[in-house]
Amino acid sequence: MTLADKLLYHQIHPTKLAADIASSVAATVLFWQHQLGAGLAAGLLPAVLATALLVRFADLDARSNTRLGRYLRAHMTRAVEAQRFAGQAVAWLGAWQHQPVLIALGALIILLAWLGGAGAKRKMGHP
């Protein structure tokens, strides 16, 4: 499995999903409290650590052959990943500004990116 494949399929590993969700919630709370440094650390470090550990040590081959793995291969482009990150930024901005509607909008952007990939289709053979 290539590094590009590992970087793709680690996104659906339960450890990565748990790290991303937990760190997102923790960071949102910290941003609400205007703790910028702690919020950035809580929001980014667990995700980066989970990625590094999973890419290095996890057997991700089995994930590529699942229904979710096939979905990821077909739809998870860099543009969709950028949409997910943008949604997170909107949510964190909403927390900083004490605007629950922006937090919800950010979560919706992330969900829609995961579900539809904004119509993105991956070209076969290209990450």
At 116 the pLDDT is: 79
- Contact present, 24 and 89 (Cβ < 8 Å): no
Say yes or no: 44 and 104 in one domain: no
Residue-range definition of the domain harbouring residue 94: 77-120
The total domain count for the chain is: 2
Q: Residue 86's pLDDT is what?
A: 97
Report the chain (127 residues): mean pLDDT per 10 consecutive residues: 93 95 97 98 96 94 90 90 95 98 97 74 49
Residue 115 maps to a domain: yes
Clarify whether residues 99 and 85 are in a common domain.
yes
**Cα 88 to chain centroid, rounded:** 8
Q: What is the pLDDT of residue 122?
A: 52
The answer to whether residue 126 is domain-embedded is no
